Structure 1
Amino acid sequence: MAIEHCMPRKAWHLPFLAEPGEVPALRRSMRTHLTRWGLPNVIDAALICVSELVTNVIVHVGAGTPTTMAVSMNGTYLRIEIHDPDRSALPTLLGATTTSESGRGLALVVAVTDRWGVMPTDAGKTTWCEIATELREADAHLGGPEVDRAEVLLALYGGSVAWRNPSAQLGLALGQEAAIAMIADLLHWFRAHGQDPDDILDRAQMHFEAVPKSLR
């Protein structure tokens, strides 16, 4: 049950009016989607890109401009696109310093992404950037030793396992440590697959409480 290709990440887009008040909602939407995609390691960089690219539209194209944010995977890179209708106002990376009042937005985008660019389109232009995700495949999930160990356990639980030496008992302390380690690894596995560990714990608690005390 070693699941390598298990996280289909369907491209999505969100039309909005380029207003300062829209930026927090766009950031929340980005965070929610990247969490569901199991990509917590790129959330901070993606949020910076959303803020700076949308602010660029507000400042240089105009507040209230009909704009669209599109998010997709380009291979193992997260791709963020901002579409606006003005082909003339092209973003330019300036040699901004720490005391500059403008020109620092794209410098931040460059600092947290692996590549970026601007493309004229029939409807205006697209400003885009891409962030490396550390995925091995576009539809794989982020791993790590905790996730790998959890998948070994899931493979055992999913097969026909004959329990050997049923009379063997672990010492109480060793058994507790083994159980705690297993639970922690499983929570890492759920988070790698875009699930909320707190929600999983709540659901597990509900299942536990539903079992009669005599059977616990």
Structure 2
Amino acid sequence: MPPDSVFDITLCVDDLRDALSVHGITLPSLRVDLPSFAGAYRPPAGLVALGNCNAATARRLAAVLRDAGTVPGRPPLDVELPALPEALKGLRRTVRRYLGAPCSDVQLCVTELVTNVIRHVGEGVPVRVRVARTYGGRIRVEVTDPAGQALPVSLPAPPDAEEGRGLALVAAVALRWSVEQGAEGKTVWCELGADAAP
């Protein structure tokens, strides 16, 4: 796996900082500035200061904390399905039912992330879609597929193109988005504000 970029480390640190803050832990209270600390290592890629762990471990820690920070009594929506165009309509309906409110931006993100898998990984590939409300009021969308090396890239699309704007749309409606590579694939995720499904 290629080393983590400074941008990836910054996202990882932000994610960890957000996940810890849900539990009342702020990184300044640990007297550590993670980006500076990670940058003190050669190579700087992958090191984060909490327990001197690498970025993959920090991401797993953030995920555990984030899961602990989901709204109590409301487990995340977790759906496994083949990435097929005909599955998208039912998936959008399922997301709407789970959130219990109009949620066009969340549905857009789910649709675009699964469509990326269909177009760039392959039709029928198994995907896992996860949607969760967090304590901070945000809505987190994750789409996991088995193609860990096929990383999404947001590129400008020509004005007359009929496709190629999916990630630009996700970036426009989400607070942030990124991709995490794992041993068995990758997860593309985004977070939307509470107003995405009031």
TM-score category, normalised to shorter length: 0.5 to 0.7
Q: Unaligned regions of 5+ residues in structure 2, if any?
A: 1-70
Q: CA deviation at 1:100?
A: 2.3
Contact in 2 for aligned 1:12/1:70 (Cα 8 Å): yes
Q: CA deviation at 1:133?
A: 0.2
Q: Paired residue for 2:148?
A: 87
Q: CA RMSD in A?
A: 2.2
Q: TM-score, normalised by structure 1?
A: 0.55
Going from structure 1 to structure 2, the CA distance change for 1:127 and 1:108 (only over 3 Å counts) comes to same
**Larger RCO, structure (CA 8 Å, separation 6 or more):** 1
Going from structure 1 to structure 2, the CA distance change for 1:99 and 1:89 (only over 3 Å counts) comes to same
Q: Paired residue for 1:3?
A: none
Letter in 2 for 1:15: E
Q: Paired residue for 2:124?
A: 64
Q: CA deviation at 1:73?
A: 2.5
Contact in 2 for aligned 1:18/1:64 (Cα 8 Å): yes
* Equivalences for residues 10-159 of structure 1 within 5 A: 10-35=75-100, 39-40=101-102, 43-74=103-134, 75-134=136-195
Distance in structure 2 (CA, Å) of the matches to 1:92 and 1:28? 27
Contact in 1 for aligned 2:178/2:190 (Cα 8 Å): yes
Q: TM-score, normalised by structure 2?
A: 0.59
Q: CA deviation at 1:134?
A: 4.7
Distance in structure 1 (CA, Å) of the matches to 2:164 and 2:195? 30
Q: Unaligned regions of 5+ residues in structure 1, if any?
A: 1-5, 136-140, 143-216
Contact in 2 for aligned 1:97/1:104 (Cα 8 Å): no
Distance in structure 2 (CA, Å) of the matches to 1:21 and 1:79? 24
Going from structure 1 to structure 2, the CA distance change for 1:27 and 1:122 (only over 3 Å counts) comes to same
Contact in 2 for aligned 1:96/1:107 (Cα 8 Å): no
Q: CA deviation at 1:8?
A: 4.1
Q: CA deviation at 1:11?
A: 1.2
Letter in 1 for 2:115: T
Aligned residues: 127
Q: CA deviation at 1:101?
A: 3.4
Q: Which SS does the other structure have where 2:171 is aligned?
A: helix
Letter in 2 for 1:99: D
Distance in structure 2 (CA, Å) of the matches to 1:134 and 1:66? 30
Point out 4+ residue stretches in structure 1 off by more than 4 angstroms: none
